[in-house]
A = this chain, B = another copy of it.
Amino acid sequence: MYIPPHFLEVDEAVISGLVEHFPLATLVCHLGDNFVANHIPMLRTLENTYVGHIAKENDLHQLFPRGMAALAIFSAENAYVSPNWYPSKKDNHRHVPTWNYQVVHMHGRITFDHSRKTKLAVVGQLTKVFEQQYSGDEAWQLSDAPRDYMEAMLDNIVAFTFKAQTIVAKSKLSQNRESKDFESVKASMEENGMVHLANAMEVTKPKKDS
């Protein structure tokens, strides 16, 4: 990924926050002359280690029984930025349209695991984290489902572990703009309902006023 220095995201709290808030990874691998991409929720379990599962009918685990190199991309909100949103446009008109976004790219390796024990552990971990987030005290639990149903569900999936070897992140959030332009873009994001982008801009203050 091309990252100008002022858009390189190095804050580990920001990076882990992005993965937690936008866990549906775009998981890309390469097969012969083509790409295969799937969209899979992934959860961090250890440093540089993420887990998830795919459908058994997804042939990835057959194509790559010993595992595969993969790129996992986590994407937050993104939004167009109009030159009209820069108050300084009136002074100098030296602006062009752009796009704001935050992404995390993890280059690493996937290995599959067909054991019932691992599959149960992975769906248990995913369920616990997401249900706490969305259902709170009413969190749904694996044990709420009948045993035969849950066993059939486990039979239909394959668990995987993704070990990240390189992690790079980009926060393109108008932080290279002068303060009044930055604040105006942030306000436009709020008006357009891009709450996460506006909050991310608040965290990523302009680094210079030039």
Contacts and interface: CB of A to CB of B under 8 A. Distances in A.
Interface of A: 1-2, 4, 24, 26, 28, 30, 33-39, 41, 54-55, 57-60, 69, 71, 73, 75, 78, 80, 82-84, 89, 92-97, 99, 101, 103, 105, 107, 123, 126-127, 130-131, 133-135, 138, 140, 144-146, 149-150, 153, 170, 193, 195
Contact of A1 (B36, B82, B144, B146): B36
Interface SS majority for chain A: mixed
Contacts of A33: 69
13 contacts: A1-B36, A2-B55, A2-B57, A2-B58, A24-B78, A30-B35, A34-B107, A35-B71, A39-B75, A93-B145, A94-B145, A96-B127, A97-B126
A55 B153 CA distance: 46
B83 A144 contact: yes
Nearest to A77: B77
Nearest to A126: B97
A195 to B, nearest CB: 8
B28 A83 contact: no
Contacts of A150: 96
A195 B94 CA distance: 35
B138 A84 contact: yes
A28 B107 CA distance: 13
A57 B101 CA distance: 19
Contacts of A92: 146
A90 to B, nearest CB: 10
Name which of A34, A83, A153 has the most chain B CB atoms within 10 A of its CB.
A83
Contacts of A82: 130-131, 134-135, 140
Given A26-B75, A84-B140, 14 more contacts: A2-B57, A2-B59, A2-B60, A24-B78, A39-B99, A41-B80, A82-B130, A82-B134, A82-B135, A82-B140, A83-B140, A83-B144, A89-B140, A193-B195
